[in-house]
Amino acid sequence: MNFRTCALGLAATVLCSSALSQRVFSEAEVQTSRANPYAPHRAAIFRLMAPIAPARADEGCLLEIASGLEPLRAVVIASLCADANAIENGEEDDAAGADARQLHLRLSRVGTNLHLEGTRRERLSWWRAFLAGSSERVSRQHLRAPVDAHLAALLGEAEPLGQAAVDARSFRVSANGILAVAGAFDGGRRAMLLTGTHLRWVSLDSARAVVLAQVELPADPHPFAHPPTRGSLVGGCPSQGDCQFYASVAGRSRVLDVRVGEQIEISESELCPEGAMRLRDACTSSVLGRDYLSRELRNRAGELVSEAPISFYGRTMRHILRADGTTHRVELATSRAGRLVWRQNGRDAGMNGFGAALASSDLDLDGQLEVLACSDNELGEGDELRLLRVLDDGGVRTIWTSEALTGSVLVAGEGDIDGDGIDELLAVESEGTRSRIWVVQ
């Protein structure tokens, strides 16, 4: 969905758009927005601010676009801020004044993202033009924000996700015994793999996952006699700076703090009690003498904070933004008996036929959670991946099923592999000494 380019004079501004339900925002509405930043215009709020003094340049913006039907729940999804060097407000030698400053905006929807491109042109006074060698000064900015269910109320619904729209690709990797996988959250097409003995940092740019770095896990002072069967990876990469993950292996004394820069650095963390594993929102421990995890979820001090629907092999929990601006919590877990149980709005429901691997993301940002799960086939009997949608009414619908897999899937995770602002779903298929990383988006 494209928006035609509109010119905004910073003194008397008219925002025009042919895509907002054929709606044109009048100058009066714009002035109202300036006076009251929370004045809603149907499904969207356009907040325009007059040029700000240089002293406040670090905190002021020329334009903010927010979505939300209710003023106090409006969520700013993009803003066009002025550079301190681009602000010349109230100078006597600028004879043209505010009429000389214009902001040209272009809004476009590309896939699941809203792109805001802004060009600010300022006509310079004669002596500034002489010094600069140009009659105007131009500054540009480009912003991007995911079009979630809340913003889709303004832009219109995207194509619904279905079997034909799901993109699933696999990458061969020379590793076996993988206990956990997580994607980098900076769009670098990288993932972290955890085994019982190593961490591998891999690139997913080609058909084969290329190992960028590898490090052996430090020796545990109190190891269990049997090989580990469960692990977890929580974390990712900010837009700037090193990547950080928390790695847990069932049977290890401590959660490991993993930082990835030029090399992988590992240290022990006090994030969970001794012997516990780190999940996205809490800590848990293996059930004594069993290979599954306790439903009791605890904080770093060991205090009980909540309970999962069941004791579990796999568990995922997400907060999802709905179209009305509210968020809801969805939690899912798979039991040792192959039952998938989901909890939404305080109610539990479930169905049979699922295995240990479980990951979740709102792939199409429609306010409903998508869940990647495997079958309950025995090891060595093949497998399949299923993409489910948890509906608002508490039901679940299958929207995609993979081809028959020859290996077994025991591990799944999430991560924004391609940098589009949406977590892709990852799963690891193992067969003998070979493995494949599946990326579903």
Q: Which domain holds residue 50?
A: 6-155
Q: Which residues contact 405 (CB under 8 A, 6 or more apart)?
A: 382, 383, 384, 385, 429
Q: Which residues contact 343 (CB under 8 A, 6 or more apart)?
A: 309, 330, 331, 332
Residue ending a domain, among 137, 155, 173, is 155
CA distances from 316 to 221, 279, 309 (A): 30, 8, 11
pLDDT in tens, 105-158: 565 666 666 666 667 677 788 888 888 788 887 777 666 666 767 666 555 555
What token pair was written down for 184?
A: 């980098």
CA distances from 141 to 138, 144, 278, 307 (A): 10, 10, 39, 46
Q: Which amino acid is it at 35?
A: A
Is 353 among the domain residues? yes
Is 119 among the domain residues? yes
Least confident of 18-27, 202-211, 318-327: 18-27
Q: Which amino acid is it at 138?
A: V
Q: In this structure, are 180 and 126 located in the same domain?
A: no
Confidence of residue 240 (pLDDT cuts 50, 70, 90): low
Is 1 among the domain residues? no
Q: In this structure, are 151 and 170 located in the same domain?
A: no
Q: What is the pTM (predicted TM-score) of this model?
A: 0.73
Q: In this structure, are 147 and 206 located in the same domain?
A: no
Beta pairing class for 243-249 and 255-260: antiparallel
Residue 22 has pLDDT above 80, yes or no: no
| Stretch 301-317: mean pLDDT | 95
| Stretch 251-280: mean pLDDT | 91
Q: In this structure, are 277 and 245 located in the same domain?
A: yes
Q: In this structure, are 176 and 304 located in the same domain?
A: yes
24/19 Cα distance (integer angstroms): 9
Q: In this structure, are 151 and 168 located in the same domain?
A: no
Is 297 among the domain residues? yes
Q: In this structure, are 251 and 344 located in the same domain?
A: yes
Q: In this structure, are 172 and 136 located in the same domain?
A: no
Judged by DSSP in three states, 395 sits in coil
Q: In this structure, are 71 and 127 located in the same domain?
A: yes
Is 194 among the domain residues? yes
Query: Higher confidence at residue 293 or residue 161?
Result: 293
Query: Higher confidence at residue 76 or residue 355?
Result: 355
Bridge partners of residue 264, in order along the sequence: 260
What token pair was written down for 319?
A: 């907060």
Q: In this structure, are 268 and 355 located in the same domain?
A: yes
The total of structural domains in the chain comes to 2
Is 210 among the domain residues? yes
| Stretch 270-280: mean pLDDT | 92
Is 400 among the domain residues? yes
Is 189 among the domain residues? yes
Judged by DSSP in three states, 243 sits in strand
Q: In this structure, are 148 and 215 located in the same domain?
A: no
Residue ending a domain, among 155, 188, 206, is 155
Confidence of residue 411 (pLDDT cuts 50, 70, 90): very high
Query: Higher confidence at residue 102 or residue 321?
Result: 321
Residue ending a domain, among 97, 130, 155, is 155
Where residue 223 sits, what CATH number does that domain have?
A: 2.120.10
pLDDT value, residue 130 = 83
Query: Higher confidence at residue 10 or residue 134?
Result: 134
pLDDT value, residue 241 = 61
pLDDT value, residue 37 = 38
Q: In this structure, are 99 and 219 located in the same domain?
A: no
pLDDT value, residue 186 = 67
Query: Higher confidence at residue 186 or residue 267?
Result: 267
Beta pairing class for 396-401 and 424-431: unpaired
Residue 182 has pLDDT above 80, yes or no: yes
